[in-house]
Amino acid sequence: MSEFIKLVHQESGEELLMEIAAEMEVEDRVYALLTPAESMVNVLRVVPGETEEDEELEELEPAEFPPLKKAFDEALKAWNCHLEVRADEFLLYGEPPEELFEDCDTFETEDEDEYMILMEVDTGDETYLIAAPIDAPYLPAEIISADSEDEDDYARSLSEEELEKLEKHFHALIEQMREEAEEENENG
């Protein structure tokens, strides 16, 4: 059974519903790897080059999105979806049909993350791509216990300093998750 928790973005205070993929305890604190309940996507601006091979992809910052939202909503309408920025992340809301994910072009980043291109959006001035990670992203967070029974536990995103300190623990947790998944595939 899946367990969900709200992740509170440190800067904006916005909340995202997340699924707890795995938990661990370090120095009497509980940390978790979370995955978004909604599809997390990237929006990329296509920067033209002299030839098609010279084109570059540049990540769109969430603050740049509001004037483009109408064009994206229009393009996604056929798939019964819309794009929103929540807690500085682009989220794809709705129930996209499976065919949206079929026959997608893919690309790999310098960090060796793989993405599939779901859609190209042309605003007339510029071209953008909506890209989804092939593997669900894991967001490290600390689980904060509620102060009272009337409140729910919540997760807090970690600072760069905290991530650095806990990096080896999160890597070990991911490795443990991989091993468990391999065992499950072999047995099931």
Q: State residue 34 phi and psi, 5-degree precision.
A: -115, 150
Q: What is the pLDDT of residues 36-45, one digit of tens each?
A: 888 889 999 9
- pLDDT, residue 50, reads 84
- pLDDT, residue 186, reads 85
pLDDT surpassing 60 at residue 1? no
Q: What is the pLDDT of residues 40-98, one digit of tens each?
A: 899 999 998 888 778 888 999 999 999 999 999 999 998 899 999 988 889 998 887 78
Give the span between the Cα atoms of 130 and 90, in whole angstroms. Answer: 10
Q: Where are the domains of the chain?
A: 4-36+137-187, 39-133
In 3D, which of 29, 21, 30 has the Cα closest to residue 3?
21
Q: What is the pLDDT of residues 123-141, one digit of tens each?
A: 988 999 999 988 878 899 9
Return the exposure string of 35-45: e unless at least 16 CB atoms fall within 10 Å of the residue's CB, then b.
Answer: bbbbbbbbbbb
- pLDDT, residue 86, reads 87
Amino acid at 146: A
Give the span between the Cα atoms of 72 and 50, in whole angstroms. Answer: 26
**What value does the mean pLDDT take over residues 15-31?**
94
In 3D, which of 152, 151, 171, 153 has the Cα closest to residue 163?
171
Q: Which residue did the predictor score with more confidence, 37 or 32?
A: 32
CB atoms within 10 A of CB 116: 18
Residue 83, burial from CB neighbour count under 10 angstroms (0-12, 13-18, 19+):
buried
Amino acid at 73: D
Amino acid at 71: A
- pLDDT, residue 175, reads 92
- pLDDT, residue 2, reads 60
Q: What is the pLDDT of residues 153-179, one digit of tens each?
A: 999 989 899 999 999 999 999 999 989
pTM of this prediction?
Answer: 0.76
In 3D, which of 4, 2, 3, 6 has the Cα closest to residue 155?
6
- pLDDT, residue 74, reads 94
